[in-house]
Amino acid sequence: MNATLGVALIGAGSIGSVHAANLASGRIAGARLVAVADAIESAALALAGEHRIDAAYADSERALGDGAVDAVVIATPAATHGDLIRAAATAGKHIFTEKPLDISLERIDAALAVVVSSGVKLQIGFHRRFDASFLHARNSVAAGRVGEPYVMHIISRDPVWRVPPKIGGLSGLLFDTTIHDFDMARFVLGEVESLYAVGTPAVHKAGVPDTLVVNLKFQNGALGTIENGQAVFGYDQRLEVFGSLAVVTVDNQQRDTTSVIDDAGSHQPLPPTFYPERYAAAYVAELQAFIDCIRDGGEPRATGADGRAATVIGLAAQRSLDEGRPVAVNEIVA
Amino acid sequence: MNATLGVALIGAGSIGSVHAANLASGRIAGARLVAVADAIESAALALAGEHRIDAAYADSERALGDGAVDAVVIATPAATHGDLIRAAATAGKHIFTEKPLDISLERIDAALAVVVSSGVKLQIGFHRRFDASFLHARNSVAAGRVGEPYVMHIISRDPVWRVPPKIGGLSGLLFDTTIHDFDMARFVLGEVESLYAVGTPAVHKAGVPDTLVVNLKFQNGALGTIENGQAVFGYDQRLEVFGSLAVVTVDNQQRDTTSVIDDAGSHQPLPPTFYPERYAAAYVAELQAFIDCIRDGGEPRATGADGRAATVIGLAAQRSLDEGRPVAVNEIVA
Amino acid sequence: MNATLGVALIGAGSIGSVHAANLASGRIAGARLVAVADAIESAALALAGEHRIDAAYADSERALGDGAVDAVVIATPAATHGDLIRAAATAGKHIFTEKPLDISLERIDAALAVVVSSGVKLQIGFHRRFDASFLHARNSVAAGRVGEPYVMHIISRDPVWRVPPKIGGLSGLLFDTTIHDFDMARFVLGEVESLYAVGTPAVHKAGVPDTLVVNLKFQNGALGTIENGQAVFGYDQRLEVFGSLAVVTVDNQQRDTTSVIDDAGSHQPLPPTFYPERYAAAYVAELQAFIDCIRDGGEPRATGADGRAATVIGLAAQRSLDEGRPVAVNEIVA
Amino acid sequence: MNATLGVALIGAGSIGSVHAANLASGRIAGARLVAVADAIESAALALAGEHRIDAAYADSERALGDGAVDAVVIATPAATHGDLIRAAATAGKHIFTEKPLDISLERIDAALAVVVSSGVKLQIGFHRRFDASFLHARNSVAAGRVGEPYVMHIISRDPVWRVPPKIGGLSGLLFDTTIHDFDMARFVLGEVESLYAVGTPAVHKAGVPDTLVVNLKFQNGALGTIENGQAVFGYDQRLEVFGSLAVVTVDNQQRDTTSVIDDAGSHQPLPPTFYPERYAAAYVAELQAFIDCIRDGGEPRATGADGRAATVIGLAAQRSLDEGRPVAVNEIVA
């Protein structure tokens, strides 16, 4: 292990660029970006150049073979994650992977087996677990502040954009966006027992759901709802847990704290535009925590088991959408 | 018709007392309380005495036979509403009835037939239609302020109390509380196509659901969720409609506009305790509108058809709870 | 004393009409409007007729001689208050007077002497003392919630209208509007030691100040500021007390609890239009308290001494405006 | 000029450390920390060491003589600023100085003369001009959003700490803290004509004012108030500009966006602790703007003239405190 951990980025797309910038800027103590790999070599070269990194690779294997690399950040398409994790773990590299862990339970299980046997760290990019507000809410629930939890509510809406309609034959919305909400539901209230999902192509009228409501039943008896969609007013990221003693809420941020009252009413600014603004601090915090785990030997806050569980819920939601009925999570087996 | 309309209250319970006080105080222009009927004669006598009314009857027929009575307010148990409406309409009295219109579609249809043939006015006690905030939100939606509506969300929680566990064999929660939310859903977004309801006895552990989440699909393609329950912090009454142009929200009132910031945080007062505080103005407004309809010949804002539709949705929700599956509203036929 | 106290209104102007409506409607338990007097007889007749009162008088003496009158509400121009109070007290009538108590300390002292000797109750119309939010804030301060008070801030802005430019040669703004803030300052923080006032004719450019900032030093060492003016967005009524343990704030009400977020920002409704909406409950509460004092023998919450003290501060503020310097309140002597 | 501008920090105290960290981290594009000077050599060495800078000097002259240094950040005691600016300008170094520009108008004028003749850039550390919220409010006013401004209100309270009681015989509070508010007042509403200041030793009972209210009259006719003090709940930084068309407000940030409602009320987190949290982004933005001015030839957003004007207002406020009277700003002459 190098004194400063060398990190390779695999996948130079939009979220990959966020991680690269954090690693290259010195904001992550104890780690530095040392390589960028992307199947599109020009993309790897461009991003590496932007951060004055020499090592730009057109395939991930060269990154995994690079002795300066102690850990990888995987930000490639979802269906490639499992195999890349397996390869990285085999190469003895610690792994931070973007969500979902994968969309195939077979690939996930094969990957997790190698992670365990190789002893590398694996952290899933569920960055909301590192957001000050969501973490505060979760810790309040864990500390008993709401008493017995009765009902959870998550609202999670992107700005208007084209979510990939399908990911490996599955709903792009479910596995690109809702996957975060499934994780947040588990993070705050524990295991999901069953769910019922309904979706509509409300925004884009493009045949696939871009607007979704998912009803949840938790193993602890609590109920829950997830609302996904796309909003013209920015990035809508809220949560509410209602229980026997209190309700705890995470509300949207506003771009600044100004307010104007004129003869038409009171007016305040919009929420942040999208994830790079809203979760800027969380992206730093999750990578820092990953690096700290490698150095200090702790357990990641978002483990391989967490990643697998979110994918299982996603597959149950897919089945509910397909069959128009409530689905028990334990119907989904590898 | 008397110059000042004479109104008889039938049913001297808690909500009946609210209406009686409004009618007796002069807050309802053009109408006065002239009689109180209750099967428990002492209750009729007590409430009549409180408002210095001589006419206290132990049965509703005497109220319906009283020439000083132009209109009745029905505030008896739900399963008696249909028959009372039929009798009142037969007697030529205008009718304001508490919700639900009834829990039996047979009784409802029999009653509505007589209402139509007799030409009296019938208004259902869906008072939230007269609340400044909910009405404002609904009018904003109707005026296109949110664009195409995508998702509605209603939160409606009582303080902790014992909702009647069963009403005529049906869920007391559904027909005492959620019935308002079903009406509000229709008032704001139109007809419901199907729903899926899950409930738990979270608060009282008493075998019947006191906590409920209902998933809605509207005929116009919008989705929706209703959350019911019981809160330790007062009366939780919120609504949100999210659409292509905006989201409109109704938030809780607070008891006053003070705020304290000390070294533990920022603190504000609770919402109102329960419906008599929260909806004081709406109870006045709905009765005033009822009286105005009688005088001016307009259509009530909450008609018999509205009352019937809410009961139909309630029966669909009951079936969904019973059978653990999504239910199309048109499965419910008289 | 009549079983139900008979109250005569003296002065059938805008605030007088508010009190008349409250007294005539039955909202004030134990009292009824029995007479209306106004120097303009047609005004007296019109208001009396509106409330179906026979006794309409063109002069106050006839009201004071009316045996059905137990108490008077004085809502005439400010410079007539002292003499009317004296006459009413001489006639043995209890007195509720609008603010200011008077603008002449001589007339005030003459009136208060007769009030004392006659034993009638005298309450000043400082209705904000009866507003739920301001009262809550004051009680919080009194209970030690903010610790040692350091700085008070009052914002009190009317909608745009023509405040009387002069009242008996004094600033109409000071004695019509700021007088409430002087009272609120005393109600919450105690006696004022000195002040410094600056004003501008910002809104109407009419030569007299319609916009005012008054700096206060309290005897207990606290500092304070009053901001008066006229706002296009309604009635701006706020207060803040900052101290060693906390800051307590009274914020504006909003007309309802809706909010809309669109692509331009977040929007909420305006504050109430003006005093009849904002303080509707406080006007009822202050009269009820006045009636209760008469019946139960207590001390009014806003006494003659309170009324006098506010006028003294007003006169000090007038001197500060005239002479452009800080003025000690004890410079003002009768 | 070096390709990447070399910046020397002069004064390794608390605010100096903030600037050093920003310059050393790469957050300021186009500039790097290259030297640290402090009269206490160990302080210079420690801070330089923390950022792996070799050049640590015990006197500022060596920093000014260092060829790697293109610009200086002055963060020494207030009364040394003028002379240091003069020396730096003489040495041809661009200058960013902390507030106040100086407390002596003679030193200020001597320094500004050399700045002009040498052609270096000079920017004053009025970082609130770079805060998103305050800048937004100021731009709204400048764009006419509030119409004709009538009244400004600034609340600016530190957490509880010992402000230096005296700076060169003058109020430490005025020249350490209020100086920001004087600048903000000018930034938003323009030149101040006169003022009246009152202060008390409310918090520390230490003989010097730690709590202050300053009344302002602007040349454009607007009025204003500044409240300074120390709060137990964190860093209280607010502003309000009220005018003919609207009121624009800057409210406090909260540490996160959670809220809890329990049976005692609604609760939210505190504001940020102090300036390093509250203004983290503004400290980066002001240094970036300074560097950009040097590179691109523009005018700083906070000029030497701005710095001088704030000191003049401060001296007027000092005189008002000393003499207990309103003071015209033009009474203060060099």
Q: What is the DSSP string of B220-288?
A: TS-EEEEEEEEETTS-EEEEEEEESSEEEEEPPP-SSSEEEEETTEEEEPPPPSSHHHHTHHHHHHHHH
Using one digit for the tens of pLDDT, what is the confidence trace for C242-271? 999 999 999 999 999 999 999 999 999 999
| Three-state secondary structure call for residue C102 | coil
The whole-number average pLDDT for the span C25-46 is 95
Q: Decide if B215 and A217 are in contact by the 8 Å CB cutoff.
A: no
How many beta-carbon pairs below 8 A join chains A and B?
Answer: 94
Residues C272, B191: Cα–Cα separation, whole Å:
35
Question: In a mutagenesis test of the B interface, which of D232, D233, D253 is the best target, namely the one with the most B β-carbons within 10 Å?
Answer: D233
Q: Are A270 and C261 a contacting pair at CB < 8 A?
A: yes
Query: Which tokens is D315 given?
Result: 């001296």
A153 touches chain B (CB under 8 A): yes
Q: Which of B227, B241, B248 to mutate to test the interface with A (most CBs of A within 10 A)?
A: B227
Q: Report residue B203 as tokens.
A: 């608060």
Closest Cβ–Cβ partner in C25, C252, C260 for B26: C25
* CB spacing of B148 vs A202 below 8 angstroms: yes
At B301-334, the pLDDT tens digits run 999 999 999 999 999 999 999 999 999 999 998 7
pLDDT category at D99 given cuts 50, 70, 90 is very high
pTM (2 d.p.): 0.96
Which parts of chain B have pLDDT scores under 70?
A: none
Q: How far from D41 is each of B201, D36, D49, CA to CA, in Å? A: 70, 10, 12
User: Stretch C284-297: mean pLDDT, rounded?
Assistant: 97
For range D225-242, the mean pLDDT: 97
- Residue B120 pairs in a beta bridge with none
Q: Residue D147 — φ and ψ, nearest 5°? A: 70, -140
Helices (H) and strands (E) in chain C, counts: 11, 17
CA distance A252 to D76: 40
Chains that contact B by 3+ CB pairs under 8 Å?
Answer: A, C, D
pLDDT at B333: 87
Give the whole-angstrom CA distance, residue C309 versus residue C105: 10
Of A232, A254, A263, the CB nearest to C262: A232
Asked if B270 lies within 8 A of D269 by C-beta distance, the reply is no
Whether A224 and chain B come into contact, CB under 8 Å, resolves to yes
pLDDT above 80 (res D15): yes
What are D104's two structure tokens?
């002596």
Pairwise CB contact (< 8 Å): C270 & A263: yes
Ordered strands of the D71-74 beta sheet: D55-57, D31-37, D5-10, D71-74, D94-97, D122-124
- D27, D241, D255, D260, best to mutate vs chain A, most A CBs in 10 Å: D260
pLDDT of residue B162: 85
Q: Is C213 on the interface with D (CB under 8 A)?
A: yes
Do D328 and D316 form a contact (C-beta atoms < 8 A)? yes
Q: How far is CA B271 from CA A327, B211, B238, in A?
A: 37, 20, 11
Is the CB of A266 inside 8 Å of chain D's CB atoms?
no
Cβ partners under 8 Å of residue B74, min gap 6: B10, B11, B81, B84, B85, B88, B95, B96, B97, B98
D102-155 per-position pLDDT tens digit: 999 999 999 999 999 999 999 999 999 999 999 999 999 999 999 999 999 999
- Give the residue-averaged pLDDT of D297-304: 96
Q: How many residues does chain D have?
A: 334
CB of A256 within 8 Å of a chain D CB? The answer is: yes
Calculate the CA B24 to chain-centre distance.
21
Give me the count of residues in chain A.
Answer: 334
Contacts of residue C232 in chain A, CB cutoff 8 Å?
262-263
Q: CB of B4 within 8 Å of any CB in chain C? A: no
pLDDT band at C3 (very low <50, low <70, confident <90, very high): confident
Å between D270 CA and nearest CA of chain B = 5
Mean pLDDT of chain C: 96
Angle at C288 between CA C287 and CA C290, to 5 degrees: 60
Contacts of C274 in chain A (CB under 8 A): none
Is the distance from CB of B267 to CB of B261 less than 8 angstroms? Answer: yes
**How many angstroms separate the first and last alpha carbons of chain C?**
35
User: Cα(D289)–Cα(D329) distance, rounded to whole angstroms?
Assistant: 30
Contact yes or no for D257 and A247 at CB 8 A: no
Beta strands, E only, chain D: 5-10, 31-37, 55-57, 71-74, 94-97, 122-124, 149-159, 166-167, 170-171, 192-200, 211-218, 223-231, 236-243, 246-250, 258-262, 265-268, 327-328
CB atoms inside a 10 Å sphere around CB D330: 10
* Residue A2 reports pLDDT greater than 90: no
Give how far D137 is from chain C: nearest CA, Å: 15
Could you tell me which chain D residue has the CA closest to the CA of A243? Answer: D262
**Measured between CB atoms, does A58 come within 8 Å of chain B?**
no
Share of chain C above pLDDT 90, in %: 96
Tell me the torsion sign for CA atoms A324, A330, A331, A332: positive
Contacts of D270 in chain B (CB under 8 A): 261, 263-266
User: Quick check: D260 and A249 CB within 8 A?
Assistant: yes
Contacts of A247 in chain D (CB under 8 A): 260-261
Query: CA-CA distance, A218 to C71, in Å (whole number)?
Result: 65
Residue C82: its H or E element: helix C81-90
A29 touches chain D (CB under 8 A): no
> Which ipTM did the prediction report?
0.95
How far is it, in rounded angstroms, from Cα C254 to Cα A206? 41
d(CA D242, CA C202): 11
- Would you call B255 an interface residue with chain D, using a CB distance cutoff of 8 Å? no
- Of all residues in chain D, the one with the smallest CA distance to B256 is D265
CB-CB under 8 Å, A244 with B232: yes
Q: Is residue D164 predicted with pLDDT exceeding 90? A: no
Q: What is the pLDDT of residue D102?
A: 98
Residue C169 has a CB neighbour count (10 Å cut-off) of 8
Looking at the partner chain, which of D250, D252, D256 has a beta carbon nearest the beta carbon of A136?
Answer: D256
CA of C201: which chain D residue's CA is closest?
D221
Chain C residues within 8 A of A263 when measuring between CB atoms? 232-233, 270
CA angle, C100 then C101 then C102, to 5° = 85
Q: Which residue of B has its CA nearest to A224?
A: B213
Q: CA D254 to CA A160: how far, in whole Å?
A: 28
C105-to-C124, C308, C315, C316, C319 alpha-carbon distances in Å: 15, 7, 10, 12, 15
Q: Which among C200, C223, C245 has CB closest to D211?
A: C223
Query: By the CB < 8 Å criterion, does B242 face chain A?
Result: yes
DSSP 8-state assignment for residue C104: -
Q: Cβ of A259 and D251 within 8 Å?
A: yes
Indicate if the alpha-carbon torsion angle B95, B96, B97, B101 is positive or negative: positive
Q: Give the largest CA-CA distance in chain C.
A: 67
Mean pLDDT, rounded, for A52-73: 96
For B162-178, the pLDDT digits (tens) are 888 899 999 999 999 99
pLDDT at position B35: 98
The 10s digit of each residue's pLDDT in A212-267 is 999 999 999 999 999 999 999 999 999 999 999 999 999 999 999 999 999 999 99
C258 touches chain A (CB under 8 A): no
Interface chains of chain C (3 or more CB pairs under 8 Å)? A, B, D
Contacts of A271 in chain C (CB under 8 A): 261
Cα(D79)–Cα(D101) distance, rounded to whole angstroms?
9
- Put simply, the answer to whether A257 touches D133 (Cβ < 8 Å) is yes
Task: State which residue of chain D sits closest to C202, comparing Cα positions.
Answer: D150
DSSP state string for B56-83: EESSHHHHHT-TT-SEEEE-S-GGGHHH
The answer to whether the CB of B47 falls within 8 A of the CB of B12 is: yes
User: In angstroms, what separates the C-alpha of D290 from chain C's closest C-alpha?
Assistant: 31
Is the Cβ of A143 closer than 8 Å to some Cβ of chain D?
A: no
| The two structure tokens encoding residue B257 | 């506009």
| Residues in D 118-137 with any Cβ partner in A closer than 8 A | 132-133, 136-137
Of B211, B233, B324, the CB nearest to A151: B211
Average pLDDT taken over every residue of chain A: 96
Strand partners, C247: B261, C242
State the sign of the Cα–Cα–Cα–Cα dihedral B262, B268, B273, B276. Answer: positive
Name subunits touching A (3+ CB pairs < 8 A). B, C, D
Pairing of strands C327-328, C192-200: antiparallel
Confirm or reject contact between D333 and chain B (CB < 8 A).
Answer: no
Backbone angle region of C282, left / alpha / beta, with phi > 0 → left and psi within -120 to 50 → alpha: alpha
Which residue of chain C has the CA closest to D146?
C232
Chain B hits for D269, CB-CB cut-off 8 Å, are 265-266
